[in-house]
Structure 1
Amino acid sequence: MHQVLAALLRGNSTHARGLQSRFDDVQDAQWPEAVTVCCSDSRVLQDHMWGNDVPGRLFTCSNIGNRVVQRTDRGEVVSGDVLYPIVHADTGLVIVTGHTGCGAVTAAYDGLTGDESEPAGISHCLGLLRSHLTAGVELLPDGADRTESINYLVEYNVDRQIDRLRASDEVPPETTVVGAVYDFQDVYSGRRGEIHVVNVDGETTVEGLKADHPEIASRIERLWEY
């Protein structure tokens, strides 16, 4: 472990040398342009997937299954991690980004279709996913194999997180909410590492999305229009 830590710290030294003056404008406050909600996965490089190396530009959140909800004594609410920049920094764009082959969606799918055996903390997170995926499992097309089913449910999960944001009284109605999928398994038609937009403000049809957002039409694609 010490060798790994030493290598990481050497990498941080390189990082710090390149950012000496770039924190000047954000040392005392932050006004991020977007909140990104991604899955906690070592293969999902949150800033790098957007080509971003600007401090203060993106407010990045990650958790198992790119969820926007947490469970409280009031029931399910939009997570404070996501709400913080919206409420306190006037951030007007939220991007929920799933990814192909998501392990959290896979585990939730297995829990709905078979058995689940996970530690309590992981089981809690998966429970927050399962409640939103149950109807999606029932909608899966006949003949879809396991891999296809999971990637369909990745999109379905993103859609449900967008629904939750749009339904919340705590998220200002003028906030733009976008759903996307990061592909590193050659599932979509683009290159590995490309992000595909699957939902904007609740619109999920490819035809509708391209009509509404022609400037990003080449990056709009869905595997499953249910």
Structure 2
Amino acid sequence: MHETLADLLSRNADHAAAYADRFDDLQDGQAPDAVTVCCSDSRVLQDAMWGNDEPGRLFSVGNIGNRVVQRTDEGEVVSGDVLYPVAHTGTDLAVVVGHSGCGAVTATYDALTGGLSDAPGIEHCVSLLRPGLKPGVEALPDDRSREDAVNDLVEYNVDRQVEHLRDSDDVPDDVTVAGVVYDFADAYPGERGEVHLVNLDGERDPDALRAANPEVADRVSRRWTY
């Protein structure tokens, strides 16, 4: 057996022993407080970043590029895995979680600036990001390094995903939509692993966000205002 698989099964046995009595109220349904849309990067610890160890609290969605859209015959719509908890479990908070050094944003940036391509499945995911990121790439200051450009575009991508959710007729108006960036690469001031609020219901101005939300003013941070 693969050594890693054996280790995972062993760790799961410990998990099962610790959580055996924590599903009693969840076996017949769920009502998560929030849906989080995270990049599936292995460095992004989707529940641990929130200190969450409570089954049923977070509906965690992961994909490369923390996308909220999928293509259908009718065009682009909010992805079903993101929409499900909002439409069927009463969840009224959606949090889009980008992260520093995002590989999907990097691939999209490279595709837009150098015409690079990848395997078809990855290319499909990048193609879902490309239309939204193209204006951002064009608006980047000329003196941006590649690393800084990617981290600026991480914010820009989060903004676009927030915009998709807010513009969709399938997402009720009373759902709060937040955009954050999880930083493990020193792209923001503060500790590695901190989540930085960059967008709340379409508001991107840090001063306005701090004024309106003083209780989390120290968690508001942006690299790029445009």
Deviation, 1:125, is 0.6
Counterpart in the other structure of 2:61? 61
Deviation, 1:121, is 0.9
1:184-195 correspondence to structure 2 within 5 Å: 184-195=184-195
Look up the SS of the partner of 2:19 in the other structure: coil
After TM superposition, the runs of 4+ consecutive aligned structure 1 residues lying more than 3 A away are none
Counterpart in the other structure of 1:148? 148
Distance 1:11 1:68 in 2: 31
Counterpart in the other structure of 1:157? 157
Deviation, 1:115, is 2.3
Look up the SS of the partner of 2:210 in the other structure: helix
Counterpart in the other structure of 1:203? 203
1:58-104 residue CA offsets vs partner (Å, 9 max, x unmatched): 00001110000000001000000010000000100000000000000
1:1-226 correspondence to structure 2 within 5 Å: 2-226=2-226
Q: CA RMSD for the aligned pairs? A: 0.7
Deviation, 1:187, is 1.3
1:178-206 residue CA offsets vs partner (Å, 9 max, x unmatched): 00000001111110000000000000010
Letter in 1 for 2:123: S
Aligned-pair identity (%): 62
Deviation, 1:6, is 0.5
Distance 2:221 2:213 in 1: 12
Deviation, 1:56, is 0.2
Look up the SS of the partner of 2:25 in the other structure: helix
Task: Flag structure 2 segments of 5+ consecutive residues without an equivalent.
Answer: none
Letter in 2 for 1:94: A
